[in-house]
Amino acid sequence: MKTYVVGNWKLNFNVGEASIYLHKLLKKLPNYRDVEVVIAPSTIALQPLSLQVDRHKMKLAAQNGFYRDYGAFTGETSMSQLRGIVDYVIVGHSERRYVMGENDKMIAKKVAAAVRNRITPILCVGETENERAFGETADVIRDQVLGGLSEVSEEDIDKVIIAYEPVWAISSVKGAKLATPDEVATVVGLVRATISEVYGAETGERVPVLFGGSVNPSNAGAYLTVPGVNGVLMGGSSLILSEFIDIIDTAKRVRA
């Protein structure tokens, strides 16, 4: 199985800045066959960067996509419009859930739309600090995983990636704390157990599960060696070229 290193640029870099960063990244990035490097620029930068990217070295992801393929939906970008430009799309990120108000029903439709348009969805799940404090982590994770996958068939489940991103550990959240490897291992086990309930034990072990939450060069190795973790999803460190390269190199060493 591949190891994934995914950089979510969020609302950073204009088109010119994104192009310059990508140029520098491609110059420094070897062609790692067993490490899948993915960057998620803002939507406006995706099309020009798709003409610049070397897909043998890395892939592009969208940060979001709409669940309808066409229609009167002002301001949205459909998965069908993203098809051929990106290979991945982030769905259900905590900022979409808790800032933009997306619920599991909408997220499930987006996952299905991505699969339908041959784009691999990276389904994000994770509990808030309050939910964790009240002992609700297992219920939240189970609901988000089952909710997000509710429209995915047994034939298509292998086309989905899950990312565990505890909201309380995301660096942009006030008072964020680092998750310990043991805490990550416990929830990743919950994710896999939940998948197994619906799709079978073999599938539960096979679906790639990533971790995201203040991942940086100093802790990436610890997270990448957590049993059941197949990669990392990060924000801030993906914006700093040296840090991003360092984490990619760490993924390669762990993979070896």
Q: Which residues are catalytic?
A: 93, 165
Question: Rounded CA gap, 195 and 204, in Å?
Answer: 5
Nearest to 88 by CA among 60, 64, 125: 60
161-164 and 35-40 beta bridge pairing: unpaired
Give 152-157 contacts, CB < 8 A, sequence gap 24+.
152/111, 152/112, 152/115, 154/199, 154/203, 156/115, 157/195, 157/199, 157/203, 157/207
Element containing residue 125 per DSSP (H, E): strand 120-125
- Asked if residues 90 and 124 have their Cβ atoms less than 8 Å apart, the reply is yes
